[in-house]
């Protein structure tokens, strides 16, 4: 970790901003909010308690959730007190999507996923000091609540006409799918959460994605009606790529924070593929680099875009934040080695295997001819094409040029794998068995 290229920026607020609110605005993290002036004053004053909720609708959080986790950390670094909420009850119901009803998971599955999400959230917050974070589960106060008490004490504060105007509800009502009473009630449950945290902890700020604005204001309105108090909400923008596509998804697959679902190498590669036009925004939202540092990186990137300085810095910072600096360093080493700038034999077996799974790959017996391996991994379409590629000097196995079409693959790299290369940039992996 001695190389300057492998030193990521430790989480900290930027001291050049007068107020953390100003930094949030500069980073583009405020798409919509309650009273801006009141929020700016609130965040400049004594520590407040704030929260963000995460529903266990999957066994892992993803990059969209990471926006909220980093926002929570920024506010904590500014001295405020975070509550990380895992939705043990709301996860049983499901937030209404604009398109279709969610499939309900079993109580056992949701409880298991609550544990997974809790451990992920805890990695991004500090649980020490005067503003130590606390974790809560909304099942703790929802489960004991009877249906009659829910309707009498909470439901009476809601107006159906207002609920129907929420974006997700309105979209579903105008679709063939419609909306169930279960999902329609979700906004009441989230409002209940905010009220409970207000009463228990004095929580006065909730954050979430701007697509959750209806749910965020549900709690603001409930507290105003039931308690006669004013509280706040911040909705962050939905992150999209420069072409307008939803960020963090490829062919419907999220980029997960769990290393078992998205490896550190795969995450690093995802950020390396950031479009030039998105580099500055990604640095602002997903890193703790200061304003001056970001301006320097962007200037260097724009001066020599072919070096991908911006993408490499984003990839280093985010992979380090999510998986740690050692995992980021291993991902960088694997990336360099696979593309001819490092030693393949020096890579650890786990990192190498995860990297090869991101490439075209095949599981083959030890001693498989290289020509056959080229076909089976899809680098060529026929044995004759494989032989021509070898004859032309364009094939390597584990970094060694192959000049004999009778050569075989043994899986000589750590973990019993081999790397096939055709030309300069076309790669495939072989997992050798036997």
SS3 341: coil
Pairing of strands 417-422, 408-409: unpaired
Q: How far apart are CA 357 and CA 375, in angstroms?
A: 17
Look-up of token digits 């650890």: 348
Tell me the pLDDT band of 249, cut-offs 50, 70 and 90. Answer: low
Neighbours of 324 (CB within 10 A): 15
Cα→Cα distances 402→396, 420, 426, Å: 5, 10, 15
Is 359-433 a domain of CATH 3.10.290.10?
yes
> Quick check: 26 and 285 in contact, CB under 8 A?
no
Dihedral, CA of residue 337, residue 342, residue 343 and residue 347, to nearest 10: -50
Strand partners, 340: none
Q: Which helix (H) or strand (E) holds 399?
A: none
Q: How far apart are CA 174 and CA 8, in angstroms?
A: 47
Q: What tokens were used for 5?
A: 């290229």
For residue 412, pLDDT over 80 is answered with: yes
Is 5 or 57 the better-scoring residue by pLDDT? 57
| Average pLDDT over every residue of 4-27 | 86
Average pLDDT of every residue of the chain: 92
Q: What is the DSSP string of 80-146?
A: -EEEEEE-TTHHHH-PPPSSSPPPPPPHHHHHHHHHHHHHHHHTTS--SSTT--EEEETHHHHTT--
Nearest to 335 by CA among 6, 108, 4: 6
Residue 3 pLDDT:
39
Q: How far apart are CA 142 and CA 150, in angstroms?
A: 9
Nearest to 183 by CA among 202, 197, 170: 170
CA distance between the termini of the chain: 36
Residue 341 pLDDT:
83
Cα→Cα distances 336→6, 346, 356, 379, 395, Å: 13, 12, 13, 20, 18
Q: How far apart are CA 135 and CA 126, in angstroms?
A: 11
> Quick check: 180 and 101 in contact, CB under 8 A?
yes
Check residue 348 and report its DSSP letter: -
Residue 244 pLDDT:
78
Q: How far apart are CA 179 and CA 12, in angstroms?
A: 43
Q: What tokens were used for 170?
A: 């309105």
Task: Locate the domains of the chain by residue range.
Answer: 31-236, 249-344, 359-433
Residue 267 pLDDT:
96
Residue 391 pLDDT:
94
| Least confident piece of the model among 39-43, 146-150, 175-179 | 175-179
Quote the percentage of the chain above a pLDDT of 70: 96
Is 61 or 433 the better-scoring residue by pLDDT? 61
Task: Name the burial class of residue 304, with classes exposed (0-12), middle (13-18) and buried (19+) by CB atoms within 10 angstroms of its CB.
Answer: exposed
Is 31-236 a domain of CATH 3.30.70.100?
no
CATH class as words, domain 249-344: mainly alpha
Quote the percentage of the chain above a pLDDT of 90: 80
Q: What is the DSSP string of 367-401?
A: TEEHHHHHHHTTSSSSHHHHHHHHHTT-EEETTEE
Mind listing the pLDDT tens digit for each residue in 157-216?
Answer: 988 888 888 777 888 888 777 888 888 888 999 999 999 999 999 999 999 999 899 999
Mind listing the pLDDT tens digit for each residue in 88-141?
Answer: 999 998 887 777 778 889 999 999 999 999 999 999 999 999 999 999 999 999
Look-up of token digits 């495939």: 428
Task: Name the burial class of residue 130, with classes exposed (0-12), middle (13-18) and buried (19+) by CB atoms within 10 angstroms of its CB.
Answer: exposed
Cα→Cα distances 168→30, 174, 401, Å: 20, 10, 57
Tell me the pLDDT band of 5, cut-offs 50, 70 and 90. Answer: low
Is 317 or 172 the better-scoring residue by pLDDT? 317
| Average pLDDT over every residue of 25-43 | 98
Tell me the pLDDT band of 2, cut-offs 50, 70 and 90. Answer: very low
Residue 248 pLDDT:
67
| Average pLDDT over every residue of 242-250 | 71
């Amino acid at each position: 970790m001695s190389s300057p290229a492998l030193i990521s920026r430790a989480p900290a607020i930027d001291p050049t901003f007068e107020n953390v609110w100003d930094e949030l605005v500069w980073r583009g993290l405020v798409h919509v909010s309650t009273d801006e002036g009141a929020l700016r004053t609130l965040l400049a004053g004594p520590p407040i308690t704030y929260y963000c909720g995460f529903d266990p609708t999957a066994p892992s959080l993803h990059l969209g959730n990471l926006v909220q986790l980093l926002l929570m950390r920024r506010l904590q670094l500014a001295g405020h007190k975070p509550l990380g909420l895992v939705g043990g009850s709301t996860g049983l119901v499901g937030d209404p999507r604009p398109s279709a009803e969610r499939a309900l998971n079993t109580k056992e599955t949701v409880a298991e996923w609550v544990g997974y999400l809790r451990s992920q959230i805890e990695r991004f917050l500090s649980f020490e000091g005067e503003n130590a974070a606390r974790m809560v589960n909304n099942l703790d106060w929802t489960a004991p609540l009877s249906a009659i008490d829910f309707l009498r004490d909470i439901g009476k504060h809601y107006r159906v006409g207002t609920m129907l105007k929420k974006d997700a509800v309105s979209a579903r009502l105008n679709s063939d799918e419609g909306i169930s009473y279960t999902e329609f009630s979700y906004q009441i449950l989230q409002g209940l959460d905010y009220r409970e945290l207000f009463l228990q902890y004095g929580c006065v700020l909730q954050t979430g994605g701007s697509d959750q604005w209806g749910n965020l204001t549900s709690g603001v309105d409930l507290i105003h009606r039931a308690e006669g108090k004013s509280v706040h909400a911040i909705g962050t923008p939905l992150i999209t790529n420069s072409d307008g596509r939803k960020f963090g998804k490829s062919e419907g697959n999220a980029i997960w924070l769990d290393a078992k679902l998205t490896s550190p190498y795969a995450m690093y590669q995802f950020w390396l593929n950031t479009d030039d036009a998105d580099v500055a925004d990604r640095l602002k939202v997903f890193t703790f680099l200061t304003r001056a540092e970001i301006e320097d990186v962007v200037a260097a990137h724009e001066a020599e875009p072919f070096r991908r300085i911006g993408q490499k810095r984003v990839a280093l910072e985010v992979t380090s934040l999510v998986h740690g600096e050692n995992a980021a360093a291993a991902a960088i080493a694997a990336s360099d080695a696979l593309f001819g700038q490092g030693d393949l034999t020096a890579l650890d077996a786990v990192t190498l295997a995860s990297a090869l799974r991101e490439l075209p790959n095949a599981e083959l017996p030890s001693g498989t001819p290289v020509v056959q391996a080229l076909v089976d991994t899809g680098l060529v379409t026929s044995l004759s094409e494989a032989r021509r590629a070898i004859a032309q000097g364009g094939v390597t196995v584990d970094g060694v040029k192959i000049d004999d079409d009778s050569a075989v693959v043994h899986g000589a790299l750590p973990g019993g794998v081999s790397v096939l290369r055709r030309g300069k940039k076309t790669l495939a992996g072989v997992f050798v068995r036997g």
